[in-house]
Amino acid sequence: MTTTASKVETIRVSDSETDMRLDRWFRVHFPEVGYTYLQKLLRSGQVRIDSKRAQANDRLIAGAEIRVPAVIREPKKPKLDGRAPLGVSKGDRDAIEKMILYEDEYVLVLNKPFGLAVQGGTGTKRHIDGMLEGMADRFGGERPRLVHRLDRDTSGVLLVAKTRDAAGRLGKTFQSRSAAKTYWALVRGVPKPPQGKIEAALVKASGPDGDRVRKSRPGEQAQAMHATTHYSVVDRVAHKAAWVSLKPVTGRQHQLRAHMHLIGHPIVGDNKYEGDVNLPAENIENKLHLHARRLVIPHPKTGQTIDVTAPLPDHMMASWDLLGFDARRFED
């Protein structure tokens, strides 16, 4: 490897990096280099593989030599706008990098972990929205924008727009219900029939626990939110528990959790909808077993399909193994 005193440096691809995409390789070696900046380097020919022009989606082979301009190692100057740069800790930067399932110039898709809030609120200081805002330099200087939300304890696919225009287009796609979302859940008991549709309008519940919803009652039409969910049993353990695939047509707060509770099969570990009592087996962690498994959506710029799948979180994978469910048969 040449020194950074020269204009370029050359890095050899290791055996463990075989078949890694070039943009992913950059995230590992140069996490401060945003995708937009990388595209500029590629278009201008400043990044090359074995002396040839490269593209972000090029797959690497062991022994290949990647040429990069030494300038990318130089620290960026802070903006002189009278404010201190936002920034986040290295730990939070690394955490976001590990969450990335898909990235291009306009879109970022994360695998949100269990227990991490998407946005801030009372008593919530660490959340994905804030972490992304503090990494604006990594994403081309513009603050990434959340397109939708997941509950704190729901894991899985989370869509983020990297530009204002992409955020507007993706928001309209969600509003038009053109985004296909699939969730996996573990529920108490086995729904009958094994496939069905749940249509129940929801309203926020009164009382101290305001972030809970229930089925609307007569006379509550004005505040009721129409909600529709399709469900399908993927596998089961006798009559004790079922692995279900859930496809929400609408996107209401707690929709999937409330709907499964309404049909008598609450999601395991759900402390708001009675899923945290009478667990179907010993050694199952009493955590919410709800995971945003897959998202299929047209790209906001090209219109081509983005199809992203998130692996199960550790506590759900442990429950799948304990109950004899084989999630790996759906792995690519």
Tokens for 245?
């695939």
Q: From 147, 173, 177, select the one nearest 162 (Cα to Cα).
A: 147
Task: List all residues 6 or more positions away from 26 whose beta carbon is below 8 Å from its beta carbon.
Answer: 33, 38
Query: 């370029």: which residue's tokens?
Result: 8
What are residue 204's DSSP bridge partners? 213
Q: From 111, 325, 137, select the one nearest 234 (Cα to Cα).
A: 325
- Residues 261-277, buried b or exposed e (16+ Cβ, 10 A)? bbbebbbbbbebbebbe
Q: How far apart are the first and last CA of the chain?
A: 36
Task: Return the axis-axis angle of helices 22-29 and 35-43, rounded to nearest 10°.
Answer: 120
Are 78 and 44 in contact by the 8 Å Cβ rule? The answer is no
The number of beta carbons lying within 10 Å of the beta carbon of residue 127 is: 16
Local structure of 298: helix, strand or coil? strand
Q: From 331, 332, 312, 310, select the one nearest 322 (Cα to Cα).
A: 312
Q: From 203, 199, 207, select the one nearest 216 (Cα to Cα).
A: 203
Angstrom distances, CA of residue 152 to CA of 96, 214, 246, 270: 16, 19, 18, 12
Active site residue 137: no
**Active-site option among 58, 151, 153, 270:** 151
Are 275 and 268 in contact by the 8 Å Cβ rule? The answer is yes
d(CA 85, CA 120): 20
Local structure of 316: helix, strand or coil? helix
d(CA 297, CA 190): 30
> Catalytic positions, please?
151
